A and B are shown apart, each in its own frame.
Chain A
Amino acid sequence: MTKIHVTSEINGDEVEFLTEPNVSLLNALRDEVGLTGVKEGCGTGDCGACSVLLNDELNAACLVFAPEADGAEILTVEGLSDGDHLHPLQQCFLEGAALQCGICTPGFLVAAKALLDKNPDPTETEIRYALAGNLCRCTGYDKIIRAVQDAAAQMQEA
């Protein structure tokens, strides 16, 4: 046998995939499961483009071994929206022009969701530190921070 069989709940669906022991979850999600919304910017946990929730905790998928996903719940950017109904973060990123090239956007959305799950009403400073693991080279972060603030406010009202 050359592959490991892994069963996970990914974005709400039971998903089975094959992998090798020393492959990262990032590579498995992209290459085996086809979730290319999970981006690779560095492969060393320094950019956050591959952010996913693993059992509700924020992780860089490039720092996780794929077999660790066996029996785990995973959320990627592809699972953020509810059908064609965008998550408030997605909507606020769009309306607030919080993306330019868009390569970092999936990671920011997942990391911001992790933040708001734990802290529904974060301060600007809390948002900035919570998202410090996600690099963006286009925006200077200004509009990203504002979009998260807007989404938090909307979700508080809802």
Chain B
Amino acid sequence: MALAEDTNPMQGFKWVGSRPIRPDGFDKVTGRAKFGADLVLPGMLTGAVLRSPHAHAEIVSIDTSDAEAMPGVKSVVTGADFPEPYGKPAEQDVQRNVMAREKALYEGHVIAAVAALTREQARAALGAIKVTYKVLPHVMNVTEAMADSAVVIHDNMITKNVDPAPEAPSNVASRTVFDGGELDKGFAEADVVVEREFTTKPVHQGYIEPHAAVADTTPDGRSTVWCSSQGHFAMRTYTSNVLGWDASRLKVIPAEIGGGFGGKTVIYLEPLAVRLSQKAGRPVRIVMDRDEVFRASGPTSGASLRVKIGAKNDGTITAADVWMAFEAGAFAGSPVGAASMTALAPYKLENFKIEGFDVVVNKPKVAAYRAPGAPISSFGVESVLDEVATKVGMDPIDFRMHNAVEQGDTATYGPKFPVIGFKETLQAIKDHPNYTAELGPNQGRGVASGFWFNAGMNSTATVNINDDGTATVVTGSPDIGGSRASMALMAAEELGIDVVSIKPVVADTETVGFNDVTGGSRVTLATGAAVVEACRIIVADLKARAAKGWDIEADQVEWVDGRAQPIDGSQPAVSLAELAKNWGRTGGPISATYSHNARGVGAAFSTQVCDLEVDPDTGRVTVLRYLTAQDAGRAIHPSYVEGQLQGGVAQGIGWALNEEYIHNDDGVMENPGFLDYRIPVASDLPMIDTVIVEVPNPAHPYGVRGVGEVGIVPPLAAVANAVAAAADRRITDLPLSPVRILDAILNSED
């Protein structure tokens, strides 16, 4: 059965660009697919985690003796069961985040864990662990944390990149600055200057599958771990580091992953499961409850920003000054660096300064979330640009086009851009009927653009040709959005066989070479390129084997449409299937592996336009139309590219309108569930129209750029700009909840 529907002859491809059914789809629509929480092992125990009820507290003592004596309880672990924190500061932070040591640093921070025969027994045992806390004052946002009088969370935190280095510790982990030209001169040249302050709240990745881990630790001191993650090799590295083990003692098997968006590039449960299993001598499964996911796994930063931008009346931006402070959660490491590098990257700028601060607060340690940092800085910058464009009387697309970067321009973060497709995304929006659709009363249109680097990093792929003429493509990149389909398509294109003859597999840490996490929009690019290269080795091998049969040199053989044939046409072509059948006598197994630290990353740009209506009496927003145009380089499986674009937009709309962490005065999260942490539901959204712009990345065999992340960069500002247009007021604090919008309508003039 050939499933290719719309092959792409214009581009000379048979499979790339078509939309076959994904190979893992059948398991997923029939309930067969095994996610992290679905694994059952004989004798398996259930784990549960005791978490701090306090945002900031000294752990005076922990007494687990009563819990250990309770029925069904097989093991209990606390900080004492893990090595004293060691290694690099960032590694120590992970060790302390997985299991609190001297202090609990946020509500939800792990204090202890229990494994028991049943969930109820494990829960009951948590209640029997006696913890004495000395509650400390807490700081919950950058303003509080940066105040001179603020309680200092880490008494050894000296702000980095400040000259001279401060003598006293503070909650500011580091400062980062990018600059160029002369700000004063730039603003002096401006005819129009707009300056605004913005705030955003922490938001969660909101994957529907809670974190889950199963560990089976055997008496030889080795452990097999099943986990739902964006990268099981990284989970092995991190988990062994927390345990103080050699990584080779861990075998990590990837389960299907129920969404990650960056939040499953880090570890929480795995070391706990391994140690509980080791102490109990039995397998242990731990699955977070939804409230634990919110309280203790990584949101992305809340932030405060100041953005000042000047432009001439002809629309040329003359200067931009951006100040940002990002909440890192309880440990250093907010994405303020990436936010700084992306903030102004889409625009040609001579005079600019971007200053960012990484600030610790008593909230969960932030984790990556889709283009980490970029949506936040883009929110501020693109909102101000919208006002500047209005003041100089330009259409927002024309204004951006006038200032847009193209190949050879220097990015504000330093290097020059290679081939990019930013202007093409702007043009695609301008050419789309949505952009000129009529708007009614209380309706507004907002435009915003965004940039993300995309990543390469390390990937390995092995391709095995089976004797029935099919191919198994083995990688170590967990598939979170359909990447197995993309791997199969590229392999089918290279080998010239039907895509249904390709079986893509995500293998465990002992079965395939190293792969970095599925993140940074890198898998189709980097793992995909490894698959392509491995297939090319296979094709060379197959040509050589065919040449042997014809007694000619291998370079006299060409590979056409899945067949080897002599260039001179002297012999009939021989198919891959026929060559595969004879593998034994033509040189043994047909297999190739390709590993690389990928090069040739193609940057991504997106431009989006949002139409919405504001109810002036209640402040409620209804999104009417949404259009996104994104440069994908080349879409390998267009349906899943569209899916990435649409998913990023939906998350961004949620971030803009309703999502936020709400903490009470005690630093306790008040909305740790999907009832009050309001991610968009189906009836909140319109169809999300997409335009896949294809400006191929010349450094990738198929022109791929990577599509996963940049789609979430523009929506915050696109929505905010549309609200500003509809309500005739600019609201600079997210989320744009009905309460906030109505307050602005009733109480502010703008």
Contact = CB atoms under 8 A, between A and B. Distances in A.
Contacts of B287: 40
Interface stretch (B460-468, B647-655, B739-747): B647-655
Nearest to A127: B682
Contacts of B257: 101
Contacts of B37: 36, 39-40
B562 interface: no
A1 B35 CA distance: 33
Interface string B457-494: 00000000000000000000000111000000000000
Contact of B683 (A42, A106, A125): A125
A129 B646 CA distance: 19
A37 to B, nearest CB: 2
Contacts of A136: 208, 682
A102 B28 contact: yes
Nearest to A40: B37
B687 A100 contact: no
Interface string A93-115: 11111011111111001000000
Given A96-B639, A100-B480, A132-B681, A47 B29 contact: no
B377 to A, nearest CB: 23
A54 interface: no
A139 interface: yes
A80 B682 contact: no
B643 interface: yes
Contacts of A78: 30-31
Nearest to B34: A36
A37 B28 CA distance: 9
B598 interface: no
Given A99-B25, A103-B35, A138-B643, A128 B210 contact: no
B596 interface: no
B19 interface: yes
A137 B207 contact: yes
Contact of A102 (B33, B289, B639, B650): B33
A25 to B, nearest CB: 15
Contacts of A80: 29-30
Contacts of A102: 24-25, 28-29, 33, 256, 258
A38 B31 CA distance: 7
B547 interface: no
B673 A100 contact: no
Nearest to A101: B259
B104 to A, nearest CB: 24
Contacts of A127: 682
Contact of A138 (B19, B33, B481, B675): B481
Interface string A111-154: 00000000000001101110111111111111111100000000
Contacts of B289: 43
B21 interface: yes
Contact of B682 (A97, A105, A144): A144
A77 B30 CA distance: 6
B674 A137 contact: no
Contact of B30 (A90, A128, A132): A90
Interface string B426-454: 00000000000000000000000000000
A155 to B, nearest CB: 16
A97 B19 CA distance: 9
A55 interface: no
A63 interface: no
Nearest to A96: B639
Chain B facing A: main interface SS: loop
Contacts of A30: 38
B29 A93 contact: yes
B258 A101 contact: yes
Given A44-B673, A44-B675, A143 B642 contact: yes
B682 A137 contact: no
Contact of A90 (B22, B29, B256, B642): B29
Interface in B179-216: 205-210
B586 to A, nearest CB: 36
Given A97-B19, A101-B257, A145-B687, A106 B682 contact: no
B19 to A, nearest CB: 7
B551 to A, nearest CB: 47
A9 interface: no
Which of A39, A97, A146 has the most C-beta atoms of chain B within 10 angstroms of its own C-beta?
Answer: A97
Contact of A43 (B205, B256, B260, B290): B290
A88 to B, nearest CB: 11
Contact of A37 (B24, B30, B648, B649): B30
Nearest to B36: A103
Interface string B278-292: 000000000101100
A15 interface: no
B208 A100 contact: no
A128 B683 contact: yes
Contacts of A58: none
A44 B258 contact: no
Contacts of B24: 102
B291 to A, nearest CB: 9
Contacts of A146: 687
Given A102-B258, A128-B683, A140 B210 contact: no
A103 B682 CA distance: 16
A73 interface: no
Nearest to A20: B120
B506 to A, nearest CB: 13
A46 interface: yes
A42 B29 contact: no
Contacts of B38: 30, 36
A95 B29 CA distance: 11
B29 A44 contact: no
Given A47-B208, A135-B208, A37 B646 contact: no
A80 B646 CA distance: 28
B258 A39 contact: yes
A3 B503 CA distance: 44
B258 A103 contact: yes
B34 to A, nearest CB: 7
Interface string B6-23: 000000000000010110
A35 interface: yes
Contacts of B249: none
Nearest to B260: A101
A143 B639 contact: yes
Contacts of B19: 97
A33 interface: no
Contacts of B22: 94, 97
A138 B87 CA distance: 36
A128 B688 CA distance: 13
Given A97-B482, A139-B650, 9 more contacts: A38-B31, A43-B289, A46-B673, A97-B19, A103-B209, A137-B205, A138-B643, A138-B647, A142-B685
22 contacts: A41-B210, A43-B289, A49-B208, A93-B25, A97-B642, A99-B29, A100-B480, A101-B260, A102-B24, A124-B687, A128-B683, A132-B682, A132-B683, A135-B208, A136-B682, A137-B259, A137-B647, A137-B679, A138-B647, A140-B649, A142-B687, A143-B643
Closest 8 CB pairs of A and B: A37-B31, A103-B258, A140-B650, A102-B28, A97-B639, A140-B646, A46-B674, A36-B38
